Amino acid sequence: MINRFMRYTNPCEKMKPDQHTVYCTFCDAPEHVYPGHPDHPGRLQPMRAWLEAPPYPEITWLDYKPAPEEAILRVHHPALLDRLQQSSRSGPREIDPSPTYVTKGSYQAARQAAGATLALSRRFLTDGQGRGFAIIRPPGHHAEPNRATGFCLLNNIAIAAADAIASGIRKVAIVDFDAHHGNGTQAAFYNIPQVGYLSIHEENLYPGTGRLNSAPDAHGRIINVPLPPFANRAVFLGIFQNIVTPWLRKFGAEMLLVSAGFDTHFSDPLTTTTLDTCAFYEISQLLIELAEAYCQDRILFVLEGGYDPLALQDNVQACLAALCGRSTFPNRFGNAPDGYAQITVNINHIQALHHLSEV
Ligand SMILES: [Zn+2]
């Protein structure tokens, strides 16, 4: 029998004494759909009920508009926008072998997803702090300045980061825990010293980038932590303690953006990483605490992957529970299976590579 709401009692659990408003946006892009593709509106549609009755009273939904071209062009080349508009007009069709598709409504859907992200980041800049979640599709972190790829048309999180820098924020940090490397985000900021990027991902998956030494000119600012298959909660928490924490302490960002990809859940059909819903709750709590300590209490989760719709719903809601200082969330899949080979990550080597040992 499915236990709809389970109380999670991990000893790491903390209740925040102060309850924050948690701002959210929702874009399920029903017009962006292609037969048999893993990224489809059904990923998010079970969550639509939240619009009518948010599960936690701290949640406030924000309205948004399509991202203005001016903001998109801080990250993407005009030629990509032209290609997306033209290919959308002649859609539905595949525009990249990754496979990435467009339909007649895809260009507008991509601008809506980017706009839903911008509405939150801009709100946090105005307010001086803020916590929230852009629950959106199509995802963004694979979209490169001049190429739509990896199911991604526009790079939502990169557009928000570039917009924050243009608005006067001194530094933005991006942490990416999607199972795939965010090649697009790394490419967008490879030469931009105000933006740091740290990606934890499964090695040898699409797009094949994100190796340990793949950003030699940006050590200490762009950090890639590729993991062997079947990495679990313990591996992730060790990386958060020993790499993510000292990096955020040292980098000095004024806003933390999170590429929240839930294809690291053990049920996901595209990956082997074995996180479970409780692990996402813990990771979210850690990131919120780190943002509070080192990023002026500004944290925005931006949805990336996650291709088991039921697991995605639970995982997003666990993240929202952490944002709201709540301790109950749905956990229909239970604990990740164990019994996989012990995964080891050379933490000392990564710390030395990025000058984090002394932080
Ligand atoms: Zn992914």
Phi first, then psi, for residue 167 (nearest 5°) are -85, 0
* H or E segment and range at residue 95: strand 93-96
DSSP-based three-state secondary structure for 274:
strand
Confidence (pLDDT) at 200: 98
Q: Is the Cβ–Cβ distance between 174 and 196 less than 8 Å? A: yes
Task: Give pLDDT < 50 ranges for the chain.
Answer: 1-17
Mean pLDDT of the chain: 93
Ligand 1 centre from 70 Cα, in Å? 27
326 token code pair: 């709540």
Q: What is the pLDDT of residue 340?
A: 63
- 244 Cα: distance to centroid of ligand 1 (angstroms): 19
Give the active site residues: 142
CA distance 237 to 244: 10
For the chain, which residues make up each domain, given as ranges? Answer: 17-353
Q: What is the rounded CA–CA span in Å between residue 206 and residue 273?
A: 14
**pLDDT tens, position by position, 150-189:** 999 999 999 999 999 999 999 999 999 999 999 999 999 9
| Residue 346: closest CA among 239, 233, 216, 205 | 239
**What is the per-residue pLDDT for 2?**
30
Top-tier CATH class for 17-353: alpha beta
Question: Ligand 1 centre and the CA of 168: distance in Å?
Answer: 30
Cα of 126 from ligand 1 centre, angstroms: 31
pTM for this model (two decimals): 0.94
Q: What pLDDT is attached to residue 50?
A: 75
pLDDT of residue 47: 87
Nearest Cα to Cα of residue 237 among 285, 269, 270: 285
pLDDT of 295 reads 98
Q: In the block, which residue shows the tokens 């000058």?
A: 355
325 alpha carbon – ligand 1 mean position (Å): 27
- Check residue 3 and give its pLDDT: 34
Residue with tokens 């406030």: 60
The helix or strand, by DSSP H or E, that contains position 131, with its residue range, turns out to be strand 130-136
Query: In this structure, is the dihedral angle defined by the CA atoms of residues 125, 126, 130 and 132, taken in order, positive or negative?
Result: negative
What is the number of other CB atoms lying within 10 angstroms of the CB of residue 310? 13
Compute the residue count for the chain.
359
